[in-house]
A and B are shown apart, each in its own frame.
Chain A
Amino acid sequence: MGSGYEEIQHTADWALHVWAQDLTGLMQQAALGMNALMGVRLTPNGRLEHTFKVAAGDAESLLVAFLNAVVYEMELDSVGFDTFELKLDGLQLQARLEGAPLLELQKNIKAVTFHNLEIRSLDCGLETTIVFDV
């Protein structure tokens, strides 16, 4: 099934359908999809690295916590990321993000929501739909 993301219609906010072979892949695709929605463009120079850890009680909460942490890091330092290296240990996630200062951010995301959030198992992987407040 591979992995990827596509935007889903939503009246006021943004929604992404995301799929991947495993939870790590799902998180990476969700982060890349979020980049696409926000219109992230990075400066060619000044590569940087951010690391953080998040933990949660279930996979959906972990996904939301991870994406919200990315939103937080971006806003705080006016940076963006194009590489998401993630290590999962149960429901604890260690993230190493690579990126650069923002050249352009067309629109920011206020928050990643739990609205109707469910990670579904398929024969060959996982899929979910995430709604973002913008």
Chain B
Amino acid sequence: MIRLQDIKKINDYEWEIPQSFRKDMRVSVRLFVTRRLLEDALDDQSLEQAINAATLPGVMQPVVVMPDMHQGYGFPIGGVAATRLTDGVVSPGAIGYDINCGVRLLGSQIELEAVEHVLSDLANALNRHCPSGVGVAGNYHLTEAELDQVCRLGARWALKKGLATAEDLLRTEEGGSLDGADPAKVSPQAKKRGLNQLGTLGAGNHFIEVDVVDQVYDAQAAQAMGLREGMLALQIHCGSRGFGHQICTDYVQDLQSAVHRYGIKLPDRELVCAPLDSPEGRDYLAAMRSAANYAFCNRQLLAHAARQAFEGTLAGVVKNWQLSQVYDIAHNMGKIETHVVDGKKVKVCVHRKGATRAFGPGSLELPEVYRSIGQPVLVPGSMGTASWVLVGTAESMTRSWGSSCHGAGRVMSRSQAKREIRGDRLRSELEADGIHIRAGSLPGLAEEAPRAYKDVDEVVETVHAAGIARKVARLRPVIVIKG
């Protein structure tokens, strides 16, 4: 068990678990936390899991952990690990089951004051247009050939169908379509699960939220993003649904034998992996990219449905009800990226699980509009609390593998939340605060109560003060749709 005295303080927002802490660690673990958040993290297994991640073959210095960290399975939520392309591995468990779970943010020129009287109708319309909940099928019933196209094209599939704009894709990580996806590497079981789930939100911590831009901290960046104080914005948080879950399940199972073949010793079987330059590693990456593209397309279709809900409710109420894409970014993903290490360019596979890419200004991967300010980083809160829009910085490129936090981070178990919080009471409290809630399940709502999460403001202040992201705007929820 790791103790506070085993962890070296670098400054108020940065701590280190040295490589010498455990014999099998190949690199150190860098923690972007305050002392208080660090003390909280000692209560669960997140640090132990970060130490385990530091044992992966080919892992580069350091493994990074964000302030919203919490215990996951195998790899901590809020963790980032980069492995060398030449002799490193790819680990499906270090990316997660919900491949390309992520967040999309759309801005608007709709003043809250002008539509406050129809917010309840808007909540109903969003709930009606955006299928959500456990086991709920979507409006798109794909053939297997169509699913294969979605795997290859991602959000470009939606563009071809007239369900996206070129601007949407431009303002999506990787243009909403990762190269190298190969549906032939996806199992028939995963494909069966994927046929009817496209365009659905799912349940759990996934949501659609209408927010008001509460405060702008960086006027230039907010302007580039189309965010103005007092105007509405829309967030969509979801991933690759059962399709991605099954792909990860299949490869975690299959790679159990691969680690023996390659003589890889791991402290936890959930970290199972294969060399990046091996048939097994390449197959997983091709399948993972298929799921990632499915998720980009999924969020695109939900955005299209949300636009229909906005038009249906707000046409005639305001002159301009359009929603314009700000950005769409993954927080569960494995990406091949080039980073500068000790003055040299190195190709690595960056595993981000519950961590957001946060590329700084000048990154060629960013669309022109964001190249001078840095990549938008979307940090959703927890229903009743704020969400944040940040930008990546030059420092995130050198200190955190171009990464930042992804949310508030859980602090209370789901069973404890259900014991301590009543869903109906929570809904009443949130509605008394002016938040319109539409939830498929009251126990599910209780599990996701704001009290079950860390203080998102503290998480954001930490990455801002550490310099790995910079505050742009704070959002306040007015409508929450949960499955």
Which residues of A approach B to under 8 Å, CB–CB? Answer: 7, 9-14, 39, 56-57, 60-61, 64-65, 68, 72, 75-76, 78, 102, 105-108, 110-117, 131, 133-134
> For the complex, is B180 an interface residue (Cβ under 8 Å from A)?
no
Residue of B nearest to A105 (CB): B134
Contacts of A133 in B (CB 8 A): 73, 96-98, 245
How distant is B66 from chain A, measured CB to nearest CB, in Å? 14
Residues in A with CB closer than 8 Å to B72 are 12-13
A134 CA to B413 CA, complexed, in Å: 12
Residues of chain B within 8 A (CB-CB) of A76 are: 192-193
Q: Could you list 20 A-B pairs, sorted by A, with CB under 8 Å?
A: A7-B415, A9-B413, A10-B414, A11-B412, A13-B72, A76-B192, A78-B135, A106-B134, A108-B134, A108-B135, A111-B97, A113-B93, A113-B252, A114-B74, A114-B269, A115-B93, A115-B268, A115-B270, A117-B270, A133-B73
Q: Does B410 lie within 8 Å of A11, measured CB to CB?
A: yes
Q: Which residues of B contact A106 (CB under 8 A)?
A: 134, 441, 443-444
Residues of A contacting B73 in the complex (Cβ-Cβ under 8 angstroms): 13, 113-115, 131, 133
Q: Smallest CB–CB gap between B219 and chain A, Å?
A: 36
A133-B70 Cα distance, complex, nearest whole Å: 13
Whole-angstrom CA separation of A107 from B414 in the bound complex? 11
The answer to whether B204 has its CB under 8 Å from any CB of chain A is yes
CA distance A61 to B255 in the complex (A): 11
Find chain B residues with CB under 8 A from A117 CB. Answer: 269-270
Interface residues of B in 198-256 (CB under 8 A from A): 203-204, 242, 245-246, 248-249, 252-253, 256
- Taking CB atoms, residues of chain A closer than 8 Å to B246 are 72
Is B473 interfacial (CB 8 A cutoff)? Answer: no
Q: Which residues of A contact B272 (CB under 8 A)?
A: 114
Q: A107-B441, A110-B245 are in contact. List 4 more A-B contacts (CB 8 A).
A: A106-B444, A107-B134, A108-B134, A114-B270
| A56–B193 alpha-carbon span in the complex (Å) | 22
Grouping DSSP codes into helix (H, G, I), strand (E, B) and loop, the A interface class, with mixed when no group exceeds half, is loop
Min Cβ gap A74→B in Å is: 9
Q: Report, as a range, how many residues of chain B touch the other chain.
A: 35 or more
The answer to whether A107 touches B415, judged by C-beta atoms less than 8 angstroms apart, is no
- Does B428 touch A at the CB level, under 8 Å? no
Shortest Cβ distance from A9 into chain B, in angstroms?
5
- A102 to B134: give the CA distance in the assembly, Å: 11
Contacting residues of chain B (403-442) with chain A, CB-CB under 8 angstroms? 410-416, 441
Q: Are B204 and A134 in touch, CB under 8 angstroms?
A: yes
Q: Quick check: is B365 within 8 A (CB to CB) of the other chain?
A: no
Chain A to chain B: the 4 pairs with minimum beta-carbon distance, closest first: A115-B73, A114-B269, A115-B270, A113-B73
Given known A14-B414, A57-B257, A61-B253, contact A113–B270 (CB-CB < 8 A): yes
Mark B87-98 against chain A: 1 for CB-CB distance below 8 A, else 0: 000000100111
Q: Across the interface, which residues of B come within 8 angstroms of A57, CB to CB?
A: 256-257
A68 touching B249, Cβ below 8 Å: yes
In the complex, residue of chain A having the shortest beta-carbon distance to the beta carbon of B272: A114
Report the Cα distance A75→B410, complex, angstroms.
26
**Residues in chain A near residue B134, CB distance under 8 A:** 105-108
Assuming the contacts A11-B70, A12-B410, asked whether A110 and B97 have C-beta atoms less than 8 A apart, the reply is: yes
Chain A residues with CB under 8 A of B93: 113-115
B156 to chain A: closest CB distance in Å?
26
Q: Which residues of A contact B410 (CB under 8 A)?
A: 11-12
A9 to B253, CA, bound (A): 25
Which B residues are CB-close (under 8 A) to A115?
73-74, 93, 268-270
Q: Are B248 and A134 in contact (CB under 8 A)?
A: no
Taken together as a complex, chains A and B put the C-alpha atoms of A76 and B46 apart, in Å, by: 33
| Closest B residue by C-beta to A133 | B97
What is the CA–CA distance of A31 and B278 in the complex, to the nearest angstrom? 35
Are B44 and A11 neighbours in the complex by a CB distance under 8 Å? yes
On chain B, the residues within 8 Å of A107 by CB distance are 134, 203-204, 441, 443-444, 447
- Is B77 an interface residue, CB under 8 A from the partner? yes
Is B100 part of the binding interface, using a Cβ–Cβ cutoff of 8 Å? Answer: no
With a CB–CB cut-off of 8 A, which chain B residues contact A65? Answer: 253
Q: How far is the CB of B271 from chain A (nearest CB, A)?
A: 9
> How far, in angstroms, from A10 to B14 measured CA to CA in the complex?
26
Q: Closest CB of chain A to B291's CB: distance in Å?
A: 12
The listed residue (A14, A64, A110, A116) touching B268 by CB distance below 8 A is A116
Nearest Cβ distance between residue B77 and chain A, in whole angstroms? 6
